[in-house]
Amino acid sequence: MYGIIRGKSVILGVCGGIAAYKSAEILRLLKKHGANVRVLATRNALHFIGRHTLQALSENPILVDLFDEGPDASIKHIRWAQEADLVVVAPATANLIGKFANGIADDALTTLLLATDCPIVIAPSMNTKMYENAATRRNLEQLEKDGRWIMPPGSGALACGTSGAGRLPEPAEIIDYTVDVFTPKTLAGKRVLVTAGPTLEPIDPVRFIGNPSSGKMGVAAARAAAHRGADVTLVLGPSNIPDPPEKSISVIRIKTALEMRAAVLDHFDDVQIVVKAAAVGDYRPVSPREHKIKKIDDQLTLVLEKNPDILMELGKLKKDQILVGFAAETQFLEQHAADKMNQKNLDMIAGNIVGLPSSGFSSDTNQVTFFYRDGTSETPPLMEKYELAHLLFERIERRLHVT
């Protein structure tokens, strides 16, 4: 997930827990997302991960003691606190959580936490009994009340040999959570319906007509909308992508175009924005066979009938909702986009030419042209689908004035 933390000043706080080894990967990912990262480690953290590893990966000196050597060492943490856009403490031990919840500042990290105004993400990591201890529960509740972002720990095997809650989530999950926290909630109070993935139309119990849509673009749109504060319903065709972790996304898994239609119509009245990124099958076999078709005849004729055009139906039903379609074409993109905009009564279309390696069905990046109702268009550069999804919602908010 790229974009939102690019160029930002991020402080990574590392405490002395066994999961501190994962902080190197968290740091690497933050850098990969374009953040300028500074590390504050506790003394105990350096028993688990080397100072030079953190220093080399962050390309900045790391801060441990309040009284390190150097001309401005004793005030460096205050300067870093003022310059920070975001703080992530991962792993956060019970000790750090207890100190921060009670306003104790006895090393560089705890002092910085009290001295900054920016959002603070805490990723607890500890033994299950410590996590469930009444004191830790109380401290975490207090931090939540104070407006800190507490990431729920994972469950599973822990280094101490037990199993339960307290695992530090995977570095990529910590980055996703951090990106979510940091995204301005410009769609707060809005409800968004997103469709994604292919539809599969059964021929017999083991065969279908489908297409290679991966669902990545639509899932990225659902997550971007959720990160912007919207409540999202994601109607997802058969896809390998797991349900997104965001609590504000409810996923409805469907197989066929008819099932997608039913789910979409069920929710349409409740939403202000619809983004239809799904690659809906245009035709379905008239009567799928009850049993597997045997290879007896030299030729087999399948009779297909047209699926309903869901977006066209929404265009007829729409009141003051915003309808955004996708158009994947192999030629004449501009003309097809303009036709679809009119026929389906859309406000915006994201169109692309399929077949390019960097864009389209299963790639992580996409190159599209945005077409608007007023006849104008723009072609943003090739970018990550998640970043493109944010641009799409930014345009919806700015140009289409979602109400």
- Contact residues: ligand C5P, CB under 6 A: 195, 257, 276, 278, 280, 282, 307, 309-311, 325-327, 340
CB of 215 to ligand C5P, least distance (A): 12
- Residue with smaller CB distance to ligand C5P, 58 or 195: 195
Residue 386: closest CA among 88, 180, 147? 180
CB of 306 to ligand C5P, least distance (A): 8
- Residue with smaller CB distance to ligand C5P, 226 or 235: 235
Residue 397: closest CA among 353, 356, 348, 361? 348
- Residue with smaller CB distance to ligand C5P, 98 or 198: 198
The radius of gyration of the chain's CA atoms, rounded to the nearest angstrom, is 25
Q: What distances in angstroms separate CA 259 from CA 152, 218, 268, 305, 318, one per listed residue?
A: 34, 17, 14, 16, 20
- Residue with smaller CB distance to ligand C5P, 276 or 385: 276
Q: What distances in angstroms separate CA 224 from CA 189, 307, 348, 363, 381, one per listed residue?
A: 15, 29, 17, 17, 18
* Calpha distance 311→246 (Å, rounded): 26
Spell out the residues 6+ positions from residue 214 whose beta carbon is closer than 8 angstroms to its own: 197, 239, 240, 241, 361, 362
* Calpha distance 124→155 (Å, rounded): 12
* Calpha distance 285→260 (Å, rounded): 16
- Residue with smaller CB distance to ligand C5P, 49 or 235: 235
Joined together, the tokens standing for residue 333 give 């993109």
Let me know if 72 is exposed, middle or buried by CB neighbors in 10 A (0-12, 13-18, 19+): exposed
Helix or strand (DSSP H, E) at 384? strand 383-384
- Residue with smaller CB distance to ligand C5P, 175 or 311: 311
Strands of 107-260, DSSP E:
120-124, 149-150, 154-157, 163-167, 191-196, 201-204, 207-209, 231-236, 249-253
Spell out the residues 6+ positions from residue 284 whose beta carbon is closer than 8 angstroms to its own: 201, 202, 209, 256, 257, 258, 304, 305, 307
CB of 183 to ligand C5P, least distance (A): 24
In the residue annotation, 160 being an active-site residue is answered as yes
CB of 309 to ligand C5P, least distance (A): 4
C-beta of residue 171 within 8 angstroms of C-beta of residue 29: yes
List the alpha helices (DSSP H) in 330-384: 333-343
- Residue with smaller CB distance to ligand C5P, 180 or 347: 347
Q: Phi first, then psi: give them for residue 401, nearest 5 degrees.
A: 45, 70
- Residue with smaller CB distance to ligand C5P, 286 or 296: 286
Catalytic residue among 160, 172, 188, 356: 160
C-beta of residue 346 within 8 angstroms of C-beta of residue 311: yes
CB of 216 to ligand C5P, least distance (A): 14
Helix or strand (DSSP H, E) at 316? helix 310-317
Q: What distances in angstroms separate CA 354 from CA 49, 75, 116, 195, 334, one per listed residue?
A: 46, 55, 47, 19, 14
CB of 267 to ligand C5P, least distance (A): 14
Joined together, the tokens standing for residue 160 give 């101490």
Positions marked active-site: 160
